[in-house]
Amino acid sequence: MPDNSLFPAPIVMREMNNEQIAQVYDVWRLIGCVTAKSIVDDRIVDFPFNALFWDLVLGKKTSLFDLNKIQPEVAKNFVDFQRMANRRKQIVQKVSDPEVLERQLSNIKTSFGAPIEEIGLNFTLPGDPSIELKPDGTKIAVNLENLQEYIDMTLHYTFHETLKLQLNAFKKGFNSIFSLESLKCFSY
């Protein structure tokens, strides 16, 4: 994390055996218990959780801009990608002539002047190419047509799929001591 805060590492449960899943679950359940117990007992425990972690624990909706809290460089690129996807959508909705459409779409470039196809992205999680966003994701190149799908799937995996086990375990442990619902009144 850029601010040295704590945030769970992404994991894919389908690549883990039952013993590994149980071990990760037990660790995060214990962290949830200890965190709740420290609140109940009015003790200071230095767990500098990332603000996004708490947002996810409390069930807040996430967006592209939340990516900046955990991966600022990736977020910067994804804002650029979203701009490109939005521009593509506008052009496709407004232009009916195929030649004009093709010409205008070919002018959509990243902020550093490259077409998205030249970046060499595929449907894997940025920073962890072992996590495929869809079956055979390593073999599916990102292009202007599937860019929005890539953005959506990356955000879904980053904020939900790869954190599901850790978040559920933390919530279970926390709720066994103190209700998470009680904390929602303190969130903004």
Where in the chain are the domains? 13-61+163-186, 68-161
With both helix axes pointing from N to C terminus, report the angle between 72-94 and 147-156 in degrees, rounded to the nearest 10.
Answer: 140
Q: How confident is the model at residue 2 (pLDDT cuts 50, 70, 90)?
A: low
Residue 99 has pLDDT above 90, yes or no: yes
Label residue 122 exposed, middle or buried (CB < 10 Å: 0-12, 13-18, 19+).
Answer: middle
Q: What's the CA dihedral at 186, 2, 175, 24 to 10 degrees? A: 170
Q: How confident is the model at residue 185 (pLDDT cuts 50, 70, 90)?
A: confident
**Average pLDDT of the chain?**
93
CA 5 from chain center: how many Å?
16
H or E element, residue 26: helix 18-40
Residue range 101-114: mean pLDDT, rounded = 94
Residue 45 has pLDDT above 70, yes or no: yes
Q: How confident is the model at residue 182 (pLDDT cuts 50, 70, 90)?
A: confident
- DSSP E strands: which ranges in the chain? 124-125, 128-132
Residue 19 has pLDDT above 90, yes or no: yes
Q: How confident is the model at residue 15 (pLDDT cuts 50, 70, 90)?
A: confident
pTM of the model as a whole: 0.86
DSSP structural state of residue 64: G
